[in-house]
Structure 1
Amino acid sequence: MVDLTAKPFNLDAEALDWVHRTIDSLSLEEKIGQLFINLNTSFTPEYLDNILTNYHVGGMRYMGADSATVQEHIRYAQSKTKVPLLIASNPEMGGFGSADDGTLVSTHLQAGSHPDSSIAREMGRVAGVETAAMGCNWAFAPIVDIHYNWRNTVISTRSFGNTPDVVIERAKEYFDGLSESNTVAAMKHFPGDGMDERDQHVVTSYNTLGVDEWEASYGRVYRELIDHGVQSIMIGHIGAPELSRKFRPGIADSEIMPATLAPELLQDLLRGELGFNGLILTDASMMVGMTQAMKRADLVPAAIAAGCDMFLFFRDPAEDFEFMLDGYRTGVITEARLQEALERILGLKALLGLHTTPRAAIVPTAEALSVIGSAAHHAVAADIADKTVTLIKDTQGNLPLRPATHKRIRLYGISGQADFTGVDPSGYLAIARDELEKAGFEVHVFKDAAQRKAEGEEGVYFHTVMADEANAAYPEKYDAAIVFANVAGFAQEASVRIRWSTPMAAEIPWYVTEVPTVFVSLNQPNHLIDVPMVKTVVHAHNPSREAIHAAVEKITGASEFQGTFNENVWCNTWGTRL
């Protein structure tokens, strides 16, 4: 039913034979299991034995851990499974995010913030090298969303930019770099995020472009990347009302489904008009963008029936497996649809050479892990940081700040809450202090009311902190203020803004009228909506040592700013450019 000899599979006769023989050898339960990609929430053999023996999954993604733990986990899984597994990772920034000790090379936005397109290729290359060393073979990247709406914070740092041209150019480069390792790509999130300001993790979002506008933007991106050879596409829990109406005239508003459950978007548009022959998978199935659409018992098989080939993550393995089985038995999933999905799943495995690779050789040896977090990869990150740290504005002429002229620095840290990755969002502040001190500054770190209380100080209230901080002696104590902000709420909020520590908090830049003030963002590019009063703004893109070092180098004038930015930084708001 599927032409596995055509792009992107390009299988030979031997591989085709393996695909069909393997499918024919599977029981119904084993066929159903191939549709699932499990999120491994434990690293114990007993956990894996249960998932592999009882649910026969076709793929896995693991929770974060160090690379050695991940590799051994994958090795055990591949040794125990009947059909070799697709092992997914999320290398959106290089090796970081796929392993705790992986290299944070660059964000997508960072890779789009300099004329040198090879930055994206290097990010993809390091991502492939580091994840392949652990035994991963499937990257949930590149992200090909277009950041049209500055209020959208789920992809604000995860998009290459706000035009189709930059997204197409950099996504191709990332794919080419990734492809140097034996890794296939899943670009995301079809039919395209970046129009709605909300996060599909917590609510269904919508791409509301008209058909012609979509074709000229997101449609163009998908056509070019499909032609470039991308092997799989992750579907977002994103509705596209005008696209659905094109293929289903008269469809009621209440019938507009997120793309993961919309056959008109998957089969008529993606398979039909865009001609995509590769594998289609859902985004995470616990995201409320999907679960708010229908009951779990219905949506599990409905996603496959709509045109997805694989279903990302069990909520409860026993329940979801039974829901999928019931969907097949009741005809929601037809025999033809199941066969088609299985051919693409096994076809992707054959494309990776999993059918000819000895089982013991699928996962590299422990020695291969030496590339992860290597000095060479951190040097790549440092070079990219040097090119991409961006001066958004310096309308007051505050730069450069040098120890000879601005010795005493008041250092503020603005952090978001820890997101689902569990990474400490405040770890950057110690790095910032260290880098400033190495540059020759005398650094005085501000502590808010909660921090002072935690250290045992009594009688602390936001009014008392403000009284201590904001007084006429401020410019006598400090020569300049530098604010580092690492604010993220990915997957937990519909949008992300700065949340100050208290009402009228003392860290809010009231001090811009007292001393030269520099605001450095280590995450979101839209902070001028909340700190328009700051006259000097730098975007360093991420909280890595390399990015912070490069920012300090440029603030002090030791090196020049090279990064570029797009209009989203001004937040479409009066006063942010002042």
Structure 2
Amino acid sequence: MVDLTSSPFDLNEADVAWVRSTIDSMTLDEKIGQLFINLNTSFEPSYLDGVVDRFHVGGMRYMGADAATVQEHIRYAQGRSRIPLLIASNPEMGGAGSADDGTLVSTHLQAGSNPDASIARDMGRVAGVETTAMGCNWAFAPIVDIHRNWRNTVVGTRSFGNTADVVIERAKAYFDGISESGTVCAMKHFPGDGVDERDQHVVTTWNTLSSDEWDATYGAVYREMIAHGVQSIMVGHIGAPALSRRLVPEIRDDELLPATLAPELIQGLLRGELGFNGLVVSDASLMLGLTSAMPRRDLVPAAIAAGCDMFLFFRDPEEDFGYMRDGYASGVISDERLDEALQRILGLKASLGLHRTPVDELVPPPSALAVVGSTEHHAIAARIADKTVTLVKDTEHNLPLNPAEHRRIRLYGVTGGSDFTGTDPGGYLTIAREELERRGFEVHTFRNAAERQAAGEEGVYFHTVMADEANGTYADKYDAAIVFANVAGFAQEATVRIRWSTPMAAEIPWYVTEVPTVFVSLNQPNHLIDVPMVKTMIHAHNPSREAISATIDKITGASEFQGTFNDNVWCGTFATDF
């Protein structure tokens, strides 16, 4: 049963009538199409013509581009569609991630790394303002996973913290902030990531908490957020053995499925026990956590039959549309289940007022884009960075560094590969050098063997670089060393750790015994597992200029550290905390 007059839809009689009459007016192909959210891989109008005219999709998520390109793309799509579209974005850090020129305000972990809960609200508010200006109306956020396992890097920076209490507090604040712009949210990833150390992009993962433990932690998060009014929930490709067994006691181990395909978890737990009335959307359907569970022809309709209302992304539009239609024809998707899904999809659109908005007003005018990446929003990011840059340890009292005593800085960069978004992870080192030089330091940037070879040097190998770098003259040449690590990336590896440039690489902090050494993480909070020898560790959270500038202010003593951390930073390992 779907109650469109209750939370989170809260529709009036006229709105409900629109939902019902629209469903009744649809062809079968239009009904099937509404179940899909397309990942728009082209900005060409002819591409959108095919997506809208042939597959009648209910929603879209676009690939990365500047805000003006995104806005024009959305405008064309809305103008082409008979039924207004849900336009999703991924504003997990503010406007960044939704547009190339959006503001990186804060990561989720950063927003949980200071007692001030308004940080999360500011992040959500900027996210809403910038994405709404582009024409988006649906946020795949906040992330309400709990970072219980320090080895889990897919949510290492994408979780507000390691306890249910901090996740609940900050997720509510984010939701309240983004709701100021009228955006609806899809919190994720039910039944909860952060227990398994692996990444469901590349393997099915499992929330292995006991039933009671889950109820007290993840269950508490979902109960609180549902009561707070969240409109939709993204189901992850994450299984929950204890929960499935609680609801289906006779289920065998080899019958356990990720939640996306598990009716006992969506309909029994989320709908039944937790009472969620809103829309359920699957996580991306190309992730191995889903695709390794059963053949594609079966899993496409099985996700809807299990209780998902919308299916995130085609693999091949023609194939997946056919699989979904075949699943309906064969009875895998019942008439009742299809109608329930359509009611929630149209109900969410009606709750946004899309059905009452003239087509030419569904997307703001180009002038609205002035807020994207604005000076005001970058100032918010700077204030948040000042509050959240965290001193994890300084056991040898290396800080502060100042140009009078530590003028000659050896600067190292530890860079991860580009993640699946294609974002260049390497620009941080230039920012760090500029910010250090602006404060009067003389900066000497280390280049590894590959970088020197690329610059045309011959006869350079890791042995020769080590010989150049690691010798008795090091302390004569440099007064201090600073290492910036921007090791990001998920969706390509089961977990993420530092990968040095070569065996026994010269950038590994052997020099901690030679000069004061400061290690700064611009991403993952768990680097002490790989560099326990460093005595001064700072977590700056992200590689923005605001975060790096605030970090150097604190390294030099120009401002005090205000950020906090949780015990995940010690990695449960001996020798990381001294």
Which TM-score bucket, shorter chain as reference? Answer: over 0.9
Q: Which amino acid is the alignment partner of residue 63 of structure 1? A: M
Counting only pairs closer than 5 Å after superposition, residues 301-316 of structure 1 correspond to structure 2 as 301-316=301-316
Q: Using the alignment, how far apart are the partners of 2:210 and 2:398 within structure 1? A: 45
| Separation in structure 1 between the aligned mates of residue 421 and residue 560 of structure 2, nearest angstrom | 34
> Structure 1 residue 225: deviation in Å?
0.1
- Separation in 2 of the partners of 1:238 and 1:371? 37
Structure 1: 5+ residue runs without aligned partners? none
2:76 equivalent in structure 1: 76
* Mapping of residues 246-395 of structure 1, within 5 Å: 246-395=246-395
Q: Distance in 2 between matches of 1:576 and 1:492?
A: 27
Identity over aligned residues, as a percent?
A: 76
Q: Matches of 2:407 and 2:78 in 1, distance apart?
A: 57
Letter paired with 2:199: D
The answer to whether the aligner puts 1:459 opposite 2:468 as a matched pair is no
How far did residue 34 of structure 1 move?
Answer: 0.1
- Please give the alpha-carbon distance, in whole angstroms, between the structure 1 residues aligned to 2:239 and 2:439: 50
Letter in 2 for 1:326: D
Give the aligned residue type for 1:540.
A
| Distance in 1 between residues matched to 2:123 and 2:425, nearest whole Å | 22
Structure-1 residue corresponding to 2:150:
150
User: CA–CA distance in 2 between the matches of 1:154 and 1:260?
Assistant: 18
CA distance in structure 1 between the aligned counterparts of 2:438 and 2:493, rounded to whole angstroms: 37
Q: Deviations over 1:519-569 (max 9, x none)?
A: 000000000000000000000000000000000000000000000000000
- The answer on 1:433 being equivalent to 2:460 is no
Deviations 1:215-247 (A, max 9, x none): 000000000000000000000000000000001
Letter in 2 for 1:364: P
What is the distance in 2 between the residues matched to 1:186 and 1:446?
A: 43
CA distance in 2, matches of 1:556, 1:491: 36
Distance 1:7 1:53 in 2: 33
Which residue of structure 2 lines up, in the alignment, with residue 37 of structure 1? 37
Shift of 1:277: 0.1
**In structure 1, C-alpha distance between the alignment counterparts of 2:32 and 2:340, rounded to whole Å:** 12
CA distance in 1, matches of 2:99, 2:282: 23
CA offsets per residue over residues 187-234 of structure 1, 9 Å max, x none? 000000000000000000000011100000000000000000000000
Q: Name the amino acid aligned to 1:510.
A: W
Q: Tell me, in whole angstroms, the C-alpha distance in 2 between the residues paired with 1:299 and 1:442.
A: 58
Query: Offset of 1:182 from its aligned partner?
Result: 1.7
TM-score (normalizing by structure 1): 1.00
d(CA) in 1 for partners of 2:319 and 2:428? 42
* Distance in 2 of aligned mates of 1:297 and 1:124: 38
User: Which residue type is aligned with residue 464 of structure 1?
Assistant: T
Counterpart AA for 1:264: E
Q: Does 1:134 align with 2:117?
A: no
Aligned amino acid, residue 82 of structure 2: K
Q: What code does the residue aligned with 2:486 have?
A: N
In structure 1, what is the Cα distance between the partners aligned to 2:85 and 2:182?
14
* 2:570 is aligned with 1:576: no
The match for 2:504 is 504
Classify the secondary structure of the residue corresponding to 2:19.
helix
- Equivalent residue for 1:14? 14
Q: State the AA in 1 paired with 2:568.
A: N
Distance 2:538 2:208 in 1: 32
Residues 73-222 of structure 1 correspond to what in structure 2 (within 5 A)?
73-222=73-222
Deviation at 1:379, TM superposition (A): 0.3
> What pairs up with 1:373-522 in 2 under 5 angstroms?
373-522=373-522
SS in 2 for 1:31: helix
Deviation at 1:148, TM superposition (A): 0.2
Normalising by structure 2, report the TM-score: 1.00
> Partners of 1:390 and 1:295 in 2: how far apart?
46
Counterpart-to-counterpart distance in 2, 1:439 and 1:335: 67
Residues in 1 aligned to 2:23 and 2:190: alpha-carbon distance in whole angstroms: 28
1:508 CA drift (Å): 0.1
Amino acid at match of 1:240: A
Runs of 4+ in 1 over 6 A off after TM superposition: none
CA displacement, residues 316-354 of structure 1 (integer Å, 9 cap, x when unaligned): 000000000000000000000000000000000000000
Q: Deviations over 1:272-326 (max 9, x none)?
A: 0000000000000000000000000000000000000000000000000000000
AA aligned opposite 1:462: F
Distance 1:432 1:17 in 2: 58
| Count of residue correspondences | 578
Residue 474 of structure 1 and its aligned partner are, at CA, apart by: 0.2
CA positional deviation for 1:489: 2.2
Q: Distance in 1 between matches of 2:440 and 2:206?
A: 50
The one-letter code of the counterpart of 1:78 is Q
The whole-number CA distance in structure 1 between the counterparts of 2:541 and 2:200 is 23
Deviation at 1:356, TM superposition (A): 0.3
- Offset from partner CA, 1:462-517 (integer Å, 9 cap, x none): 00000000000000000000000000121111000000000000000000000000
Specify the code of the residue in structure 2 equivalent to 1:25: S
Inter-partner Cα distance in structure 2 for 1:4 and 1:26:
19
Whole-angstrom CA distance in 2 between matches of 1:163 and 1:196: 15
Secondary structure at the counterpart of residue 141 of structure 2: coil
Q: Distance in 2 between matches of 1:432 and 1:21?
A: 58
1:14 counterpart letter in structure 2:
A
Q: Report the Cα offset of residue 2 of structure 1.
A: 1.1
Q: Displacement, 1:10?
A: 0.3
Partner of 1:64: helix, strand, or coil? coil
SS in 1 for 2:356: coil
